[in-house]
Homo-oligomer: A and B are copies of this chain.
Amino acid sequence: MIKIAVDGMGGDYAPQLVVEGAVQAANSFHDVEIVITGKEDAIKRELYRHKVPGGKISICHASEVVEMSDSPVQAVRKKKDSSLSVAIQLLKQKEVDAVVTAGNTGAAVAASTLNLGLLPGIKRPGIAIAIPTLHGISVAIDVGANIDPTAEHLLQYAIMAEIYARYLLKKKKPSIGLLNIGEEESKGTEALQEAYKLIRDSGLNFVGNIEGRDFFTGKCDCIVCDGFSGNVVLKMTESILEMMIKLITKEIQKDFLARIGALLCKPAFESIRRETNYEEAGGAPLLGVDGVVIIGHGISSAKAICNAIRVARESVVEHVNEHIIEGISSRIGNHANLPSKTTPIPKVNP
């Protein structure tokens, strides 16, 4: 059995949709057991609304709630009995195999990093997210944990993204691109210029710098980016489809024939909506911490929570963290012989 702790109070629609999603997951995955952390009364009340398969969901009471507006480090330090902290503690004590939270992202990153620590050799964790593209699913890392990464951090993100693409997206020889403002090696900040060299020399399947226009074309399987741009792009794309639909609706209302046309096109539009829907892709793993932690969007629906639990389950089944430890160790082994201007990367003792 794979045990997954779900932060019952995290997210804009918690505990209602979180519990609903947990129930969906309990019904979908025969080998998953779920512990929901949070206010027992509130969670029980939600559970009563659903048909829960026997023994697959339990509650672990937590008296406090991390609000979306809380400062991450403060929340972790002061709210020791929050649903988030309790879930992370269960993982630390190996009572569960993974944590899923749709709460305050900054607090989830801080709580995981401070309590679980990082995998051997890893300098900074990164949030990886699946991106629907014209040629299947890609992964982008980092999208918000590290807004000012060094070249070394970016190299490590490349290594972790490659593992994600290989084991979770089932890509054979995942290609890596570095998000920059031009294709030439000389573009971007010093950190990016140095990261270009490090990734090129790492033995990864590096396609070079990619630009904003390549984000959704599927030009590469893994997009390595700083957490600031990654976050901006991610939030922008979440809204752009809604904007397109509003524009199309507005234009179509002006014209009778177009209104009929739109009715006929509806199934095609629905299909595109599904293909580009982040809910389908599920939550975003916080890669690099010593434990499986999946972060969901604050506005996660029940389906999104269920999918985040699926990603947590797959990360455990596929031993993603063990592969990251191996990848960091072997890539850095290759790399340590090459001259580099960055801080030397310490060898990992596996």
By a beta-carbon cutoff of 8 Å, the part of chain A in contact with chain B is: 69, 71, 134, 144, 147-148, 179, 181, 184, 186, 188-189, 211-217, 226-229, 231-241, 243-244, 246-248, 251-252, 254-255, 257-258, 260-269, 271-272, 275-276
* A234 contacts across to B, CB distance below 8 A: 212
- Given A181-B147, A217-B243: A233 and B261 interface contact (C-beta under 8 Å): no
Those 10 A-B pairs whose CB atoms lie nearest each other, nearest first = A261-B264, A212-B235, A212-B236, A251-B268, A213-B239, A261-B265, A212-B232, A261-B261, A181-B231, A213-B235
* Copies of this chain, whole number: 2
Q: Is the interface of A mostly helix, strand, loop or mixed?
A: helix
Q: Tell me whether A236 and B233 are in contact (CB under 8 A).
A: yes
Shortest distance from the beta carbon of A277 to any chain B beta carbon, whole Å: 12
A240 to B212, CA, bound (A): 10
* A258 contacts across to B, CB distance below 8 A: 264-265, 267-268
Which residue of B235, B240, B267 is within 8 Å of A211 (Cβ)? B235
* A134 contacts across to B, CB distance below 8 A: 243, 246-247
A234 to B, closest residue via Cβ: B212
A191 to B, closest residue via Cβ: B148
Which residue of B227, B260, B265 is within 8 Å of A252 (Cβ)? B265
